[in-house]
Structure 1
């Protein structure tokens, strides 16, 4: 589903749900002045078309025992790229894995419990078959995080 497939009502529904994914359909209906059945239909269609990927609780890693965040940039042998993606995705500490253009092929974000855990993650990813270089950056502070898209 591309942006141009979204009409004004879809966008209004998505804006409300980005702010609070637990907002009841009845509340969306009331705020937008449309029947609740319409809201249910639209949300179901947005899920089926892939515009809504899921509903999650956004956790603060520093408050739940993962005070260390790391960003790792990878250079990978092209024929091992898919293998490395799959290995990184299977690591429970990895929260984001992106394919890149430029000097690095992949960037991944990890969260760790302590410096020993940071070292274990770093060693594990550097030893993956196909990794020719990895640059690990330790996050020293969170300045800004925004999970809402400007639709």
Structure 2
């Protein structure tokens, strides 16, 4: 990847619907050249997909919570897969100790959050410990960019 590719990625992270013509204008290249560069980034797997970012408050999911869940190592993958399929789970990561899951959930209210925890965490086999923290204020958030 060169400097132009980095600039194209930054533009598309900011506005995934940016036209090839607008990208070309920003970079001082032809529309065809901009299209070819974007297509190459897609073909090489640098760009995995284009998506939207939804404001959770506009769709009624105002409670954002983060769970750190300790799991028996023999059950970590099955627990992770089962939890990842739940609609409240927005992201889920297996951490480097191979005993911990980091989970981000969005729910309508505190009651729905408690129901999620009781149904999916507190009674599940292999789960050893659950720690939950609710988001108070978002200072900085990721809008597109590198998948983590």
* Structure 2: stretches of 5+ with no match in the other structure: none
Moved more, 54-63 or 102-111: 102-111
Q: How many Å separate the matches in 1 of 2:116 and 2:42?
A: 34
Root-mean-square deviation (Å): 2.0
Equivalent residue number for residue 23 of structure 2: 28
TM superposition shift of 1:8? 1.4
Moved more, 101-110 or 91-100: 101-110
Given the alignment of the two structures, is residue 13 of structure 1 paired with residue 40 of structure 2, yes or no? no
Q: TM-score, normalised by structure 2?
A: 0.87
Q: How many Å separate the matches in 2 of 1:84 and 1:49?
A: 32
Match of 1:60 among 44, 55, 60: 55
- Moved segments of 4+, more than 4 Å: none
CA contact (8 A) 2:14 2:143 kept: no
TM superposition shift of 1:95? 1.0
CA contact (8 A) 2:73 2:98 kept: no
Q: 1:49 to 1:79 in 2, by over 3 A?
A: farther
Q: 1:128 to 1:52 in 2, by over 3 A?
A: farther
Q: How many Å separate the matches in 1 of 2:138 and 2:105?
A: 14
Q: 1:76 to 1:145 in 2, by over 3 A?
A: same
Q: How many Å separate the matches in 1 of 2:99 and 2:137?
A: 23
Given the alignment of the two structures, is residue 101 of structure 1 paired with residue 63 of structure 2, yes or no? no
* Structure 1: stretches of 5+ with no match in the other structure: 1-5
TM superposition shift of 1:124? 2.4
Report matched runs for 1:1-151 at 5 Å: 6-102=1-97, 105-126=100-121, 127-147=123-143, 149=145
Q: 1:117 to 1:88 in 2, by over 3 A?
A: same
Q: 1:103 to 1:90 in 2, by over 3 A?
A: closer
